[in-house]
Every structure is written in structure tokens, then in C-alpha cells.
Chains A and B, each alone.
Chain A
């Protein structure tokens, strides 16, 4: 059974600081997604990581994937209030049903002035 664990689940940080969200998964997978969700809204795709060592950056967010360690990180640089949201990682179930994503429980990020 594929399990996806994120930590921390809650993160309160000040503007201008850096922090990292971690996503561990328990079995082999070769695709990992990061999503953002604002309160009351649906999920917005941020990054798709397709191979070991993949790194993608968009603005103040950078995501990386280490398939050997079964670990992905989402690094936040110089946080701003607009980044406050819940962030989910999701892993494709390898060899499972087509396109079945297993989600972590999410990290609720609050950036304070």
C-alpha cells in the first residue's frame, strides 16, 4: 500500500524567511505532483516531477525529487503573505490503476508579516 506523508502539517512563518516542506512516500513511484489549494477553492497544479534529481522552480517555490530516498521537497524562499495556502504532494501509484494519485494530508502554510 502506498503511503504519502507530508511534514509539517502546519507551518507558520514570517515574511522573508525560508522553509522546506517534506513529502515522503513508501513505495516505488516515478511521478510526483505538488498542488496548492486556497481556502474554499480547488487544487491548482504547481509542479510535476518526473525523474530522479528533477528540480523545478517557479517564483519563490522550488521542488525537487529524490526517487531513491522516496522524498520530495518544496522549498520556500523569502516567503510572502500571498504564499499562504495548503500545499499537497501526490504520488502516482506505480503499476496501479491508470492515473491513480495518492495524496499527502497537506501542509497548511501561514505567512505572517
Chain B
């Protein structure tokens, strides 16, 4: 089975801090995704990557950046965390030309 792991299940950070969320997959997938999930809004795509060092903006990239230096690892970076970035963050991965079907356990981030 594909395994997608995320570095933290719960994270509490202060406004203005730089925050790193890490995601690792073990199935040699080309595509990796970061979503955020908020009540009443469903899942929204922040960024995705289709290859090492390649990235594309999703629907809500503002306030976020990403890094993909190795195929198995995709990092989401909040340069200066704000309270409106309090959310559940879900990482996912898939093979090229296949829609994502493998989600990580999620990181619940609280920014105070």
C-alpha cells in the first residue's frame, strides 16, 4: 500500500513564525499535492508538484510556498504564519496522469 506520511499530526505556532510542513511518500509518485481543509469549504488545493523542483500554484497559494528537492518529499512553507492559516493540511500523491488517491493523515495547524 502507498504510504503518505506527514511530519506532525498537530502543530501550534505563533503569528509571524515560519512554519514547515513535511510530506513524504514511498511509492515513487511523480505528483504531490498540498490541500487545506476548512469547515464548510471542503478541500482546496494550495500547490502541487509534478516533478522534482517543479511546482504549480493551486487555487489558494497566497501566503504559502513549497519545496521539492527530492522526489519523495514535498514541503509546504508558511513564511510568516497568520491566524487565518489555522486549518487542517492534507498532503497527497499520485502517479503522473493519475488523479490523486492517496492522502496523508493530515496536520492540524493552529496559529495563535
Interface of A toward B, CB cutoff 8 Å? 31, 33, 40-43, 45, 48, 88, 90, 92, 97-101, 103-106
Contact = CB atoms under 8 A, between A and B. Distances in A.
Contacts of B98: 99
A41 B99 contact: no
Interface size on B, as a range, is 20 to 34
B99 A99 contact: yes
Contacts, number: 54
B94 A105 contact: no
A72 to B, nearest CB: 14
Contacts of B48: 97, 99-100
A82 to B, nearest CB: 20
A41 B105 contact: yes
B103 A43 contact: yes
